[in-house]
Chains A and B, each alone.
Chain A
């Protein structure tokens, strides 16, 4: 990589992510940490240059002369290694948000940036420019025991350096310069504290913690070995997914970032640092397929706990701490390449999305299948959800894509209502939930299917449409096949898979839907839809086509194997928040499903 910034921004494709299960940082290919919320993933940012190079704050670390960069993750870890090469030599930078150590007193959070001289001598500069509270909170830079410390209210971070040049404290930055020769090492550590005293580590403690971090990630990866097709992509997706799991609660964030645009310069900029019920079934499915029962258990417990206050109604999304209130606000930031507004919170949380009931019941059904039983309280609540669907399925809703236009009778939503009732009936028949109304559930299930088959299927187009009476298409309808509304041999579903492939697909890219959504501008192709299509092709017997599409899709990842939400089909540029959990979940599930289909075909 040689071309980096223009007007302070790098292409979204040039970002890698590191994390510790509590927060996560985006690091650009030029070595700048451009996004980091502390202390948690959904906390206000300390670095947000990706959204505003002038006001957002960042942590620069780069050669002082022209350079190229090559990156990789240390195998089996979420520790990033960047090698800068200049005309005079090369250096390696290893970046990590370190994990809890061996029980010795360590910082609450810690970003470590280690430098190793590889060849020749390279002059480097670094500069820590923290801007607390999305750039709005004033900070004070002082020195404690000779160490530069930045304080803002209850937050404090230190900049500890070893052989990295004398730190210079200016008005709003702590900076240094050094020359790193072959075989020499340097370290810049940034411990952080929130409402507690800062812990200033020693160099040996930092070394030990970094070694522990690498070993812990490798240990986790070893436990979740995957040997199927697209092995590397699946394992990287699993590691990316693990970064989105908020370890203190088990919740899974949809993405690390907020307000990265679906169209550069457009208004489709959303905060994705929440957990969507919509993603629950993909999440549990992927965790179970990857052999992560502990994470699956924690996630399902969290999901049932989080939904308790609104039960039997579901919020569309929940905060990582389990709360359901996420009011949307606009921040006075410039936005990625001028894409405004920059938002925190997400108004979609208050929408009605009937599909979520299907997804939660399908999740409960998967969980019950894996665990072999359901706790009485959870069983009662799943039964009450089915009761609620009986009463609510006739309503229009905002659908899985959270359109901001008038609610409609979305086909996918109705299909998922059918799935909700079908799963409840199945659980009841197996004695896993109380039979408190399965006759009513059966009647409603029949009514929902009648509605879908008569109102949501176009005889003229010979496929399921986006909504009742519409002639538009929606890739989400593919989920009817993936979640069991119709079997793979169903002619209507097969025709719908064909129609999506014919009309929404462009090469490996698939658009979400055709028609209006109440927002201005356009968006890129939605990656999860491409993976869903690949999975559907395999399920409907077109294995070669599915494998070819997956090969293309795996090739669309960035240099370190990550995906955003969308891709611009014309330029290949990433769009939307990243790394996007749904894209990685869809990759894992598609790879596993296609692998199974291939195994069956061979056998």
Chain B
């Protein structure tokens, strides 16, 4: 296992994840746009939010890759399939807790189940499995995260222990 491999894997995997989500959006499978959601936490300017969001998304991608790496080290094994399994769990966690529950509570512009008049939310909450962003969103998100995990796992397993 290799830390450099993990770093490289995190970058490539985030690239793929972002591309899959963007493509799914263009094909009208989902309204989810994770970089946009992250970016609007810092600015209400849509164009700037997207730029900041992509940066934050890549940082997050690296952070999660090293969380995977820590678990790989703990269990002494890494690989494509194990990474894909982690990606599945990661995707489900993202849709059920991370983006559905935690993000609305800390995101200053996103509505949560507790948002009430006279407050105004700029972004609708994603809902369970992000279903508010389209019925295909859970499938797209989980598949993209499985891909992310597989890439991180594969890259992390390359080379010597780091």
Contact = CB atoms under 8 A, between A and B. Distances in A.
B120 interface: yes
Given A309-B134, A321-B127, A249 B118 contact: no
A158 to B, nearest CB: 18
Contact of A321 (B46, B116, B132): B132
A377 B133 CA distance: 18
A298 B135 contact: no
Interface in B11-36: 25, 28-31
Interface string A309-332: 111000000000111010000000
Given A247-B111, A249-B111, A305-B31, A220 B117 contact: yes
A242 interface: yes
Contacts of A302: 124
A99 B116 contact: yes
B118 A100 contact: no
Contacts of A67: none
Given A219-B118, A220-B117, A250-B111, A308 B28 contact: yes
B44 to A, nearest CB: 8
B47 interface: yes
Interface stretch (A18-26, A227-235, A345-353, A385-393): A18-26
Interface in B101-133: 111-125, 127, 131-133
Interface string A413-440: 0000000000000000000000000000
B122 A298 contact: yes
Given A22-B115, A39-B113, A375-B46, A295 B31 contact: no
A251 B134 contact: no
Most buried by A among B30, B118, B122, B132: B118
Contacts, number: 104
Nearest to A324: B134
Contact of A251 (B113, B114, B115, B124): B124
A53 B38 CA distance: 48
Given A100-B116, A108-B114, A247-B111, A325 B121 contact: no
Contacts of B132: 321-323
Q: How large is the interface on B (under 10, 10 to 19, 20 to 34, 35 or more residues)?
A: 20 to 34
A337 B154 CA distance: 67
Contacts of B117: 19-22, 78, 99, 216-217, 220, 242-243, 245, 247
A194 B162 CA distance: 47
A216 B118 contact: yes
Nearest to B40: A301
Interface in B131-149: 131-135
A152 interface: no
A242 B114 contact: no
A216 B117 CA distance: 8
A179 interface: no
Contact of A250 (B114, B116, B121, B133): B121
A334 interface: no
Contacts of B44: 297
A108 B127 CA distance: 16
Interface string A237-273: 0000011010111110000000000000000000000
Contacts of A298: 120-122
Contacts of A323: 131-132, 134-135
A1 to B, nearest CB: 28
Interface in A203-225: 216-217, 219-220
13 contacts: A22-B117, A220-B118, A247-B111, A248-B115, A249-B121, A249-B125, A250-B120, A251-B124, A298-B122, A301-B122, A309-B28, A323-B134, A323-B135
